[in-house]
Chain A
């Protein structure tokens, strides 16, 4: 019959909090690991990131330049072969090289745009949920308005005004993607802020910014993470569509611009299927991988979705 012993006080509050978070993280991973879909998605994305990072080792960058391939007398519109596993395009560039170097741009644009959108979305969502009342009302009104903006329409406008290129594309994605995550994060922030320990933190005089940073934000990380994955998937989609329609950077290679070139050079009617299929598969796989990660993580957060 021993009484419960008091904490020894050897570990600081911060250490305790971090070890708790570590345990929670491990528990989440244990659940995530059971999803074949989640693991497959993770593997695919990691593979793409590795390919993008190792691009200089995997393919000669000059292979994306029309002048270079002309000098090298590379064959035009060659179907897949041992020398050119993904074939060549209208200008003689190896599609494999295009795809490898294109991965960098497509993934980078996706990552930067997602980061930007989530920074804004988290800031607004966390604040709205924490402060409530008038602040919440105003922020949510703003969010509603931005959710209405048609991203494709905006993209065209920005392309016309700001000029084509990656900056325009990233700007469009950020402006039109922050609103939905903001709503979701706000719901979570509100739920966390309603908990008694937050009230307690306020009562002992903690600054609002401190409470948000040390209590609200960490407890909202799972939701923020899921939103990042979802937004990332749609960012890659958006970049590929916008580049395909001609709003990409004419001087850099992305999966979307590769498709744009192929389409404009009549690949469809001429039967040069490899110029469309290989870059296309990369886009599909990248988006699919992120979708699968989001699906598996949803299961971690919502037990109802798990297999029993």
Chain B
């Protein structure tokens, strides 16, 4: 695939990032006076407020703020400090691995399951498998992840006691090595199951619809006419074509993947980015909220870029346009 294709996409991603940075800038500085908001929570004297204002560059005109303070800070990876003096970028950075572990695993499992179910349901349209999985997929799709998490806690943690109710590891008796891994997995199980089932519905429904579209195409009948087995028709021709929209659908769903993760981390008190986000809300930690907003946006932009490049690679109509 041509270098110019990738280059154009990367350029577009940068421009989008720029838009987000500008949007973020105006959002936080023009919708209300940030200093007043901070002062509201922390009882600051007028002098302290002025000092803070100077520190945050808020005493200068907007354009100067943007070019002299905002952008340079960002380029250095400085996302500011929270009220308690913690560095925002460090806070965010530290939490990434845990969230990645939870959300990444869930997304991967959900995609695999959803695609497999969608293929089978779409291929044997109207079968009992199809009808059951359709309703199941729709129901899981319609269930907010945080709610599903609570249901699971009620049944499996509180009532049956099979799994811990919250957390990442046993804080009372910390473990190491292999026992630690098991401990983490034990804590990870319910939240991960929740997210997997919550995400699965979308993938299954999209894959099924995609299969139905491709099965109706002429080339499916044409390949059958060539005298190859039904399984070969499905695996060699239908599935590869049906998979293409999944890539686009996954990216569009990304916002909900993030939201689902936040909800689940909150319900399970899982110490990841999601929990950090909700804590930030409670404490009106503007710098942290700003940092998280930027982080999530950047994640979505990157996901879009990856999907575009992947599509370019996988779909010959784009590759050899």
Contact = CB atoms under 8 A, between A and B. Distances in A.
Interface string A151-170: 11110111111100000000
Contacts of B151: 276-277, 280
B290 interface: yes
30 contacts: A144-B12, A145-B20, A148-B300, A151-B255, A152-B277, A153-B292, A153-B296, A154-B27, A156-B293, A157-B290, A157-B293, A160-B37, A160-B281, A161-B28, A180-B252, A233-B142, A237-B144, A240-B147, A244-B263, A268-B158, A271-B159, A273-B154, A280-B150, A284-B143, A284-B144, A287-B142, A295-B138, A305-B209, A307-B125, A307-B126
Contact of B16 (A148, A152, A154): A148
B230 interface: no
Contacts of A263: 150, 267
Most-contacted residue by chain A among B23, B142, B154, B296 (CB, 10 A):
B142
Contacts of A304: 212-213, 216
A268 B143 CA distance: 18
Contacts of A284: 139, 142-144, 147
A150 B147 contact: no
Given A145-B19, A244-B263, A280-B147, A150 B286 contact: no
A149 B130 CA distance: 35
A273 B152 CA distance: 11
A269 interface: yes
Contact of A150 (B252, B258, B278): B258
Interface of A: 37, 144-145, 147-154, 156-162, 176, 180, 233-234, 237-238, 240-241, 244-247, 259, 263, 268-269, 271, 273, 276-277, 280, 283-284, 287-288, 291-292, 295, 298, 302, 304-305, 307
Contacts of A150: 255, 258, 293, 296-297, 299-300
Nearest to B280: A156
B142 A259 contact: no
A304 B209 CA distance: 9
Interface string B12-25: 10001001100100
Main SS class of interface, A: helix
Given A145-B20, A159-B281, A180-B252, A276 B150 contact: yes
Given A148-B304, A241-B263, A245-B266, 10 more contacts: A148-B301, A152-B258, A152-B262, A157-B28, A161-B27, A237-B144, A246-B282, A276-B150, A280-B150, A280-B151
Most-contacted residue by chain A among B31, B151, B259, B299 (CB, 10 A):
B259
Contacts, number: 143
B158 A269 contact: yes
A109 to B, nearest CB: 15
Given A149-B23, A244-B263, A259-B147, A291 B138 contact: yes
Interface in B143-169: 143-144, 146-147, 150-151, 153-154, 157-159, 165
Contacts of B258: 150, 152-153
Nearest to B301: A148
A123 to B, nearest CB: 20
Nearest to B143: A284
B115 interface: no
B284 interface: yes
